[in-house]
């Protein structure tokens, strides 16, 4: 099975307080931010690796995992890390974030999918910076492929994937014929979430994404990493989303102490207006 995994580099969500907005309010100041792969995309990579191996012998890859990111030269670090974790090959589409929106990424990915011809496109359900949650769905529409979003489990079948989606009140299971687009949710990296045809159903993975092993880190330098121009993928680089301004969330105000229950009820009624 050949899988294309879309990875996005995002500002480290653990350091959200470092996000600064200049007084002009026309953008987010990215200077000094620490970058990390979008966690949901890391889960997608882990799912892709599990789908292309026998869980007992994860060093051998059955098929190919190709990772792609959209970003400037520095985002190659994100790709190298993915290669060190087990991906076979990487592609960087040279562009900066401010020139992109979800629809444009989906159009460019469509062209890339037509070139690469993967059986599955995997990605996180959303990136934790913009939280747009659009690319997977838009891509499936453009390709006219089956789609499963928010995957919590994936089981490989002949020519199809059985995908469990956590929904209110239970798990919806759907079978998507390949080729397909699947976006993943956090439980996809639980020990028994993903099974390739090769992996025994009794096998249990470690919880979470795998760690990069030193020999693989050393070998990742030799794995191919190609650069592609955005213009080579789509002639239409117009943006459908325009940002009109940014402001930080209001600082939280200090709490107050109320005198008694009557005071509390009055404040809930008159100030908080929840009663």
Figure out which of the listed residues 8, 9, 50, 80 binds another protein, where binding follows CB under 8 A: 80
Cβ-proximal residues to 141 (8 Å cutoff; 6+ apart), any chain? 106, 147
Among 6, 39, 9, residue whose Cα is nearest residue 110: 6
> By CB under 8 A, is residue 84 in contact with another protein?
yes
Rounded to an integer, what distance in angstroms lies between the CA atom of residue 97 and that of residue 33? 14
Of residues 59 and 99, the one with the C-beta less far from another protein:
59
> By CB under 8 A, is residue 92 in contact with another protein?
no
Size of the site for another protein (CB under 8 A): 16
Figure out which of the listed residues 208, 224, 238, 248 binds another protein, where binding follows CB under 8 A: 208
> By CB under 8 A, is residue 81 in contact with another protein?
yes
DSSP code for 15: G
Minimum distance of another protein from residue 214's CB (angstroms): 3
**Residue 35 φ then ψ, to 5°:** -110, 150
User: Per this entry, what is the length of the chain?
Assistant: 275
Rounded to an integer, what distance in angstroms lies between the CA atom of residue 125 and that of residue 193? 16
Of residues 142 and 216, the one with the C-beta less far from another protein:
216
Asked whether 120 and 180 are in contact (CB, 8 A), the reply is: yes
Residue 210-239 contact track with another protein, rule CB under 8 A, x = bound: -xxxxxxxx-xx------------------
Residues that bind another protein (CB under 8 A): 77, 80-81, 84, 206, 208, 211-218, 220-221
């Amino acid at each position: 099975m050949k899988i294309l995994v879309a990875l996005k580099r995002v500002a480290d969500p653990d350091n959200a307080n470092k996000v600064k907005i200049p007084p002009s309010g026309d953008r987010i100041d990215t200077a000094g931010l620490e970058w990390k792969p979008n966690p949901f995309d890391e889960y997608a990579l882990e799912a892709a690796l599990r789908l292309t191996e026998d869980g007992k012998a994860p060093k051998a890859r059955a098929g190919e995992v190709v990772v792609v990111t959209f970003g400037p030269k520095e985002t190659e670090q994100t790709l190298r890390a993915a290669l060190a974790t087990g991906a076979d090959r990487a592609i960087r589409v040279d562009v900066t974030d401010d020139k992109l929106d979800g629809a444009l990424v989906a159009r460019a990915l469509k062209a890339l999918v037509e070139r690469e011809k993967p059986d599955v496109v995997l990605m996180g359900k959303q990136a934790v910076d913009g939280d747009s949650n659009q690319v997977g769905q838009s891509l499936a529409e453009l390709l006219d492929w089956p789609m499963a979003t928010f995957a919590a489990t994936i089981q490989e079948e002949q020519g199809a994937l059985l995908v469990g989606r956590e929904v209110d009140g239970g798990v919806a299971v759907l079978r998507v014929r390949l080729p397909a687009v699947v976006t993943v949710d956090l439980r996809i990296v639980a020990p028994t979430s993903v099974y390739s045809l090769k992996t025994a159903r009794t096998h249990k993975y470690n919880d979470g994404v795998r760690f990069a092993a030193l020999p693989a880190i050393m070998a990742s330098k030799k794995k191919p990493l190609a650069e592609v121009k955005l213009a080579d993928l789509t002639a239409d680089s117009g943006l459908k989303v325009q940002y009109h301004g940014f402001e930080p969330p209001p600082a939280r105000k200090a709490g107050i102490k109320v005198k008694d229950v009557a005071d509390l009820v009055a404040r809930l009624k008159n100030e908080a207006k929840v009663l």
